[in-house]
């Protein structure tokens, strides 16, 4: 919010407010519309904090998970703030506000930042306790503590690899290509994680059946 307020006087009256799939501006509006995203960031942080506050009151494990969740909020907010800065710089360039012909591929920048966020947030997945709100959740992972811990560790590693691949891909892929690769890596990571979770679930079920 403060960065946007500081930059607003250096922006032209009309700035890009939306970029299409090609990365080109397809909608223009008042420079004051750039305050919408910072307000959205504040709302997201507020909602996340309320969720952590009320969720943490449920059980002891809820308090632990809420503490882990709170650690991810600054990361997400920080990435969103960087995206806002990139958007402001891009608006300056496209609005001819004295920066010159600065070329910024918004899709490439978005994919790069999303890759960083995947790596940072996935680091906290193995630290969660079994629950139905945060972490890698499905019927198989929620079966018992073992399926939860093993599946979340694996999913965290898969998401980290997806994030690294996304960042590396932005060095040679731009535009929608960068976004499509991001989605492809993310889909692959989720699919592999689901397959692994099913395998661990089957192993745990087999152990219980033998014990009976």
Mean model confidence pLDDT for the chain: 85
Q: Which of 169, 66, 196 is nearest to 114 (CA)?
A: 169
State what percent of residues in the chain have pLDDT above 90. 36
So what's the pLDDT on residue 12? 73
Tell me how far the alpha carbon of residue 79 is from its chain's centroid: 8
Tokens of 53: 């506050």
The helix/strand count (H/E) of the chain reads as: 6, 2
Please give the Cα distance from 207 to 203 (Å, whole number).
6
For tokens 């709100």, name the residue: 133
User: In the chain, what are the domain boundaries?
Assistant: 1-104, 110-212
| Structure tokens, 5 | 């307020």
Tokens representing 195 are 């397959």
- DSSP 8-class letter at 18: E
Q: Mean pLDDT over residues 19-30, rounded? A: 72
Question: Taking 90 as the threshold, does the pLDDT of residue 203 lie above it?
Answer: yes
Q: What's the pLDDT score for residue 183?
A: 96
User: What pLDDT does residue 97 have?
Assistant: 47
d(Cα 132, Cα 138) in Å, to the nearest integer? 8
Question: Which pLDDT score, from 0 to 100, does residue 163 have?
Answer: 96
pLDDT at 98: 47
For residue 116, which of 158, 66, 84, 159 has the smallest C-alpha distance?
159
Each residue's pLDDT tens digit, 62-79: 778 788 888 888 888 888
- For the chain, first and last CA: distance in Å? 60
What per-residue confidence (pLDDT) applies to 197?
A: 96
Residue 4: the pLDDT is 79
Confidence of residue 38 (pLDDT cuts 50, 70, 90): confident
Element housing 27 (H / E): strand 25-30
């Amino acid at each position: 919010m403060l960065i946007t307020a500081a930059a607003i006087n250096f922006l032209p009256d009309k700035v890009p407010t939306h970029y299409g799939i090609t990365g080109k501006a397809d909608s223009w509006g008042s420079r004051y519309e750039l305050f919408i995203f910072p307000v959205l960031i504040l709302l997201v942080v507020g909602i996340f904090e309320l969720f952590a506050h009320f969720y943490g009151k449920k059980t002891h494990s809820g308090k632990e998970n809420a503490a882990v969740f709170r650690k991810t909020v600054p990361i997400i907010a920080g990435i969103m703030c960087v995206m806002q800065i990139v958007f402001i710089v891009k608006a300056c360039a496209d609005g001819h506000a004295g920066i010159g012909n600065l070329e910024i591929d918004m899709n490439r920048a978005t994919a790069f930042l999303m890759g960083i966020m995947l790596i940072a947030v996935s680091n906290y997945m193995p630290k969660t306790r079994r629950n139905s709100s945060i972490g890698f959740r499905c019927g198989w992972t929620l079966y018992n503590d073992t399926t939860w811990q093993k599946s979340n560790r694996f999913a965290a590693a898969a998401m980290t690899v997806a994030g690294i691949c996304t960042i590396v891909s932005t060095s040679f892929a731009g535009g929608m290509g960068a976004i499509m690769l991001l989605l492809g890596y993310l889909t692959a990571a989720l699919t592999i994680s689901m397959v692994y979770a099913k395998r661990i679930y089957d192993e745990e079920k087999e152990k219980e059946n033998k014990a009976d």
